[in-house]
Structure 1
Amino acid sequence: MAARGFASGPQFRGVFPGEPVTELCFAPSKERGLPLFRQLGDSGDLLESATLSFSLEEGVRMLRVMIQSQVYDSILYDIQRQGRISFYLAAAGEEAALVGSAAALKDADMILPQYRELPSLMWKGFTLDDVLAQLFATAKDPGRGRQMPIHYTPAHMCIMPVSSPLAVKIPQAAGVGYAYKLGKKDAVAAVYFGDGAASEGDACVGLNFAAALGSQTLFLCRNNGYAISTPVDEQYRGDGIGARAVAFGIDTVRVDGTDLVAVYAAVKAARELIVKRQEPAFVEMMTYRLGPHSTSDDSAAYRKAEEVQQWSTPALHCVRRFAAFLTKQGVWSTVEENALVEETRKRILSRIRVFEKMKHPPVLAGLFTDVYDKMPKSLQEQQEALRSFLSHPDRAKTYNLNRFERDQTGKGEN
């Protein structure tokens, strides 16, 4: 690495050029913040000098996905409360950031989601049946029902499985992006994470790895103001998350995450920069989580209802603002929206009734397979011990094995 030190005097390595000074001074910790990129005004009009980076037809498709996502969240949240699934996590308030960013990517790009990215997956083609197969842990789930709900496994779509631990995807994305660089691929690794995940050590590792090696990695941070119950002003002192990426030497843009037009434009430009320069880029999407963190959370315990109501107004609500824009363009209407909501609602309720009756993967095969190419003797012994345990007549009184498919050996588990 060549010296990048001062214009005169000792040439120290690893810093940008600067003039030496004789007066002691500290770099201020509270400089002016990064600018916020916006394209849509509060009423749904394009701001002066703003441009549209996609067609109106594509815009309608994006709006439809956001509205469908809202219906999914509403119904799936309710059935969790009814005890029909064990857990759910919604994307309310962040639909524009998730759909707009995914739409600006290309099919060859790999998405590494955190756990709130169902709208992004829906844009890429993840179907309602894919969602329900996972939530109900059915035999149709590619993950074979081993993960807790919302941990989707759409590997066939160039999307990594969802993982519970925060920030684990960030260094993985740095590695995928580095592989794309070495292979001279027209592709990026797009990794989603929140402000809370950015406080994990893996975030620093991944950012530095990508910057130092020039990985073709796109960091997509959803800064929604809360890490579960911890507000951002208790998480950090600096200028958001984007300022950290700048410190690591990564080109960064902060965008209004409730403005789909701005998100799409920013992510599209970031992707082009990454492929052209073979180096990472960082997009901080400023959003607001309208609902609880998950069905295990009560957000009323740490934020006021007035705050949520303010962010729910049409001027700040990402779906309502984009719908207003398309309505003014003459390509959307309330009638179309109501019809879409009703059609989506009927379809999801119908499919729920189907999937909640489906059987789970086999117990014996599901617990012991897909770890080793050839099952070791120790696992074979454990499998047989479990088979013997479950075959006892009294077990049927405790375990409803009729909910599971038969194992691969043809020996009944029920």
Structure 2
Amino acid sequence: MSRNRREPSPAARTLRPVTTAPASASLSLRHDRRFALLVAARTISVLGNSFARVALAFAVLALPGATPGRLSLVLACQALPQLVFILVGGVIADRVSRSRVMIVADLAGCVAYAGLAAMALTGRAPLPLFCALAVLAGLATALFTPAMAGAVPQIVPADRLQRANGLLKVGTNSSMLLGLALSGVTVAFVGAGWALALNAASFLVSAALIRGLRLTAAPRSTVSGWADLREGWREFAGRQWLWVVVAQFSLVVAALNVHVGVLGPLIAERDLGGARAWSLLVGAQALGTVAGAGLAARLRVRRPVLVAVLATFPMALPIGLLAVHAPVPLSMAAMFVSGVSGDIFGVLWSTTLQREVPDAVLSRVSAYDAFGSLAFAPLALLVAGPLAAAVGLGHALAGCAALVFLASAAALLSPQVRGLRTREGTGTASASDT
């Protein structure tokens, strides 16, 4: 076994036993009440978020005196709390009921997007208040993400985790596809405010559904939150494959967020016809994620982390095509491929984390995963608008594409990324000798 791999802490030493998923796993999961509630909650919430994904950018651009810099500022205000508070969210989710944490997060998201919708609809949108509500939306995500990561293994048997993650992705991505298909029309005909209001309502429905999960709270720790964070860090840093891929994704996520959040809408507004054209592109990507999730749920690979990293390379393709002003249909095809590869990565990565990391520290390790992956996103969003104005949209997009490619290539240098294997007959992963 690789020298970089370490054993879990004494408090969380036992890994969940895993067996190969039976052919009837997906059928039985669909009849599991709590899993059905979770899928429904996430599907509805993502439907609303897909409206906001298009609407927020165009709501800011519609404000008096809007500039690329203001758009960058608002999106950075949303992203920064996800980075700052996600570790706190991981500690909370490992100490109390994860379903309660998710309910609180959903209610906070509802308040944030209801406020943003009201300002967009009334036209009274002072920038400081707009930014404050964006911060609240980011805080809600910071609380929800690690709790959700830890909730799935509490509901789903270990031998069905990959199918469960795949089915979750199929549901949420189908919902995203529907939302993105309708969002451009909604923004174009009734305005961004109503699209943001739909997102607020989706958070409220999600909270009501998650209330039915009633997940058992973990035993309260007698140590401090700082000690909990240190234990989570030891579990995170002791797995080379984990921190290498997170380092890779700190750059990949920064580039993808700049592409989707700032540069894509800007080039769509300037050259492609506005919100309708951009919704076609992100809709094509969403369609790819549905196909990718369905494929990933059935995929059986011996080296899940290696395959996941290889799947990140196509994500650079649509960014590069936008940089060279490729025709919209070609960019749509590239966005579709990017969506397929992105969800292959997502399902394999989530399943590997859930199988390899003990449940007692899973939310904290997932929080470190998200923290590292988001590390450069706020700064990248903040500088994207001014940078595009300085060097041009094409050069900025080309730089993002190169960053995705080079970061993914660097991750392949890790022996554990290349060598972490799934043991046949068990479904669990183990680091190969290097």
| Same fold flag (TM > 0.5) | no
* Structure with more strand by fraction: 1
Bigger relative CO (Cα 8 Å, ≥ 6 apart) = 2
**Greater per-residue helix proportion:** 2
TM-score normalised to structure 1 length: 0.27
Pair member with larger Rg: 1
Q: TM-score, normalized by length of structure 2?
A: 0.26
